[in-house]
Amino acid sequence: SGTFKGGYTYSGHATACAAAIAVQKFLRAPGFLDQVKAMGSVLAQRLQDRFAQHPHVGDIRGRGMLMTVELVEDRNTKAPFAASHGLSSRIYQNAQARGLITHALSGTIDGYVGDHVVICPPLIAKGEHIETIVGLLGEAIDAALM
């Protein structure tokens, strides 16, 4: 057939195994995980700084470099936006337009309503990257709410 079939995702392909070993070595490098923990704290603090008083942010939560921002129509009651508002989708599109990759979730309360946006910067992110990410996320959220 002229094709080369070298392996599949879960077949233990030699290249995939070599990549996995390289990643494990990188994760075990001295100081790497300490840096990740420090940047996770910076990320959490920057999100708090930017969104803690935002009228449509109901909660900011996560751990380390995996954080989520919950969007609500009413901050005091935590009432969600109507599904027809399409907020998560609009945030995702606005973030993409700005070069920010997010994971926007809708229906997180009951399968229909509830909007969250998840960010997970690469573990090698530095402080200036965190600042950029939070700034772009703020722009994307604000634009989606207009």
Domain ranges of the chain: 31-145
How far apart are the C-alpha atoms of 114 and 83, rounded to whole Å? 8
The whole-model pTM stands at 0.84
With beta carbons less than 8 A apart as the criterion, state whether 94 and 144 touch: yes
CATH superfamily of 31-145: Aspartate Aminotransferase, domain 1 (3.90.1150.10)
How far apart are the C-alpha atoms of 100 and 96, rounded to whole Å? 5
Question: 25-34, 45-54, 129-138: which range is least confident on average?
Answer: 25-34
CB-based burial label for 101 (10 Å; 0-12, 13-18, 19+): exposed
Query: Which whole-number Å values give the CA distances from 111 to 41, 51, 85, 106, 108, in the listed order?
Result: 31, 25, 15, 8, 6
How far apart are the C-alpha atoms of 117 and 136, rounded to whole Å? 13
47-87 pLDDT, tens digit per residue, is: 999 999 999 999 999 999 999 999 999 999 999 999 999 99
- Count the residues in the chain: 146
78-135 pLDDT, tens digit per residue, is: 999 999 999 999 999 999 999 999 999 998 888 889 999 999 999 999 999 999 999 9
- Show the tokens assigned to 24: 């494990």
